[in-house]
């Protein structure tokens, strides 16, 4: 993984309204955006960024590109990502939500064979506070520091970041894994990334009660030495309800049976067995982090 302030970034779908707006926001925060791609827009500029019709043209003109951020419509995401991988780009952030599940399955298989890191779909991306932004995070709620944040929520992530900032606890990195049912890099991958990051001293997980969190709890016990705290939303949700936005829930209920095995009680018990402190509300996270960091220093 190459996440550095001087990393070269490509925007696929830069002519899309959200792509153009996010590009200006990322530029203002210091992200080095060298090119954009939008079909039939080649030869133009958007926010002073040169636009190409194809990714290979952008790479030929600018040299190796580290990361691409995808804003194209859902049914164009697979082609956009495949084009990026074919051009040697190995970090992909998919902001677009609602990507067809089979498209993502195909993409993930290729990502595994090419060692490509995928964040999303339905992700607000990655931010290294005070350094650069890859996506649509709200940078005003973040401040540089030593706590890494891994989340499956979007606006809830901002609430947690703001609580940390208000408490004088800065963040080393914040990543949103995405809100679609099928998503790329998971808690385990980012836990390991933050474990190896010299800037990060503690990790905060922001999740929703769902299948998969038990794997994160087990992974923390066996592989993570840095202190971890968690906030799990949806503790009072009925066991036959899935959490998410409207299109995510509709797609889930149309395609899959409801799994009642992933209850709040089960998830909480797994995290407690792993001795991971759990906040009852976002405002409790700063105090929990202070406690675990104090134990580490002691």
Residue 68 sits in a domain of what CATH number?
Answer: 3.40.50.720
Tokens of 189: 């991958």
Task: Read off the pLDDT band of 258 (50, 70, 90).
Answer: very low
Closest CA to 150 of 199, 186, 98: 186
Between 209 and 4, the higher pLDDT residue: 4
Residues 286 and 146 in one domain: yes
Residues 142 and 255 in one domain: yes
Q: Note whether residue 14 is domain-resident.
A: yes
Structural domains counted in the chain: 2
Q: Is the pLDDT of residue 236 over 70?
A: no
Residue 184 sits in a domain of what CATH number?
Answer: 3.40.50.261
Please report the pLDDT score of residue 262 as a whole number: 59
Q: Which of 60, 91, 119 is the last residue of a domain?
A: 119
Please report the pLDDT score of residue 69 as a whole number: 98
> Mean pLDDT lowest for which of 88-102, 166-180, 203-217?
203-217
Please report the pLDDT score of residue 260 as a whole number: 47
Q: Note whether residue 124 is domain-resident.
A: no
d(CA 240, CA 238): 5
Residues 115 and 181 in one domain: no
Q: Note whether residue 15 is domain-resident.
A: yes
Please report the pLDDT score of residue 259 as a whole number: 47
Please report the pLDDT score of residue 294 as a whole number: 85
Please report the pLDDT score of residue 176 as a whole number: 96
Residues 145 and 184 in one domain: yes
pLDDT, tens digit, for every residue of 173-185? 999 999 888 899 9
Please report the pLDDT score of residue 211 as a whole number: 54
Q: Is the pLDDT of residue 255 over 80?
A: no
Residues 65 and 165 in one domain: no
pLDDT, tens digit, for every residue of 92-121? 999 999 999 999 999 999 999 999 999 999
Range of the domain at 246: 138-297
Q: Is the pLDDT of residue 263 over 90?
A: no
Residues 244 and 277 in one domain: yes
Radius of gyration, alpha carbons of the chain? 19
């Amino acid at each position: 993984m190459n996440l550095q302030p001087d990393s070269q970034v490509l925007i696929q779908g830069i002519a899309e309204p959200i792509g153009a707006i996010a590009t200006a926001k990322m530029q203002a925060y210091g992200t080095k955006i060298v090119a954009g791609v939008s079909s039939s827009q080649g030869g133009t500029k958007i926010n002073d960024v040169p636009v190409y019709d194809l990714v290979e043209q952008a790479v030929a003109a600018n040299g190796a590109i580290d990361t691409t951020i995808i804003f194209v419509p859902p049914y164009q995401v697979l082609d956009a990502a495949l084009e990026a991988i074919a051009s040697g780009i190995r970090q992909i952030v998919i902001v677009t939500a609602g990507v067809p599940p089979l498209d993502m399955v195909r993409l993930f298989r290729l990502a595994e064979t090419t060692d490509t890191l995928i964040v999303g779909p339905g992700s607000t991306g990655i931010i290294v506070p005070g350094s650069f932004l890859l996506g649509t995070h709200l940078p005003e709620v973040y401040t540089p520091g030593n706590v890494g944040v891994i989340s499956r929520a979007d606006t809830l992530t901002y609430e947690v970041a703001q609580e940390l900032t208000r408490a004088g606890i800065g963040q080393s990195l914040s990543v949103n894994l995405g809100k679609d049912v099928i998503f790329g890099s998971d808690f385990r991958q980012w836990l390991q990334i933050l474990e190896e990051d010299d800037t990060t001293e503690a990790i905060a997980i922001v999740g929703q009660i769902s299948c998969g969190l038990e794997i994160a709890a087990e992974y923390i016990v066996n592989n993570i030495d840095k202190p971890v705290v968690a906030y799990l939303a949806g503790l009072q949700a009925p066991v036959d309800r899935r959490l998410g936005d409207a299109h995510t829930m509709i797609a889930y209920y149309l395609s899959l049976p409801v799994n009642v095995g992933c209850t709040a009680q089960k998830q909480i018990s797994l995290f407690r067995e792993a001795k991971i402190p759990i906040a009852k509300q976002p405002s409790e996270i700063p105090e929990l982090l202070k406690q675990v960091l104090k134990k580490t220093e002691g």
